[in-house]
Amino acid sequence: MSERAGLASPGARLRTAREERGLSIEEVADRLRLNEALVLAMEEDRFGLLGAPVFARGHLKNYAALVGAPEREVMAGFDVGDLPEPTFLPALDRKVIVDDGIKGVLQTLPLLPPSTPPAPAQP
C-alpha cells in the first residue's frame, strides 16, 4: 500500500514502533506465534499474504498491541479493497479410513510419487 494523505502506511507504523522498542522481527514473530515471513509481510504492507481480511485485521491489531503502535492509525491505513484474493493451496487427497472401530475419520495422504521397494540386501 502506498502512503495516503501524508500518513505512514500501516507497515511503516508497525516497523517504526518495533524498532523503537528494540525488538527484532524474530522476537515479534515468536511473541505473535507467526512465522517471520508474515511479520515482514505486514511491515511491507503485503497483506494479501496474511489470508482473508479477517485474519489480516487480527494480525495487524495484535502486532500493533505488541509494539504499542496506535491501533486506530494502523487500522485506518488498512484497506480491504487493496487486498488481492487469498491464494489457497490445492486440496490434498483424502480417504476415509477406519481407526480402532471409528468410521469416517479423515486422513491426509501425502502427495508423493509411489516409492519403489528397497533392493534386497547383498550378503
Is residue 51 in a domain?
yes
Is residue 94 in a domain?
no
**29: exposed, middle or buried (C-beta count within 10 Å: 0-12, 13-18, 19+)?**
middle
Mean pLDDT for each consecutive 10-residue tract of the chain (123 residues)?
A: 59 95 95 94 89 90 96 83 53 49 48 60 72
**42: exposed, middle or buried (C-beta count within 10 Å: 0-12, 13-18, 19+)?**
buried
Is residue 2 in a domain?
no
CATH number at residue 58: 1.10.260.40
DSSP 5: T
Determine the residue type at 77: G
**All three cell numbers of 20:** 523503537
DSSP 87: P
Is residue 47 in a domain?
yes
Is residue 61 in a domain?
yes
* Domain span holding position 42: 10-82
Is residue 4 in a domain?
no
Checking DSSP bridges between strand 102-108 and strand 94-99, what pairing results, if any?
antiparallel
Is there a contact between 63 and 57 (Cβ–Cβ < 8 Å)?
no
Is residue 27 in a domain?
yes
| Cα distance between residue 51 and residue 32, in whole Å | 16
**All three cell numbers of 94:** 483424502
Q: How far is CA 4 from the centre of its chain?
A: 25
Confidence at residue 19, expressed as pLDDT on a 0 to 100 scale? 96
Number of folded domains that form the chain: 1
Is residue 50 in a domain?
yes
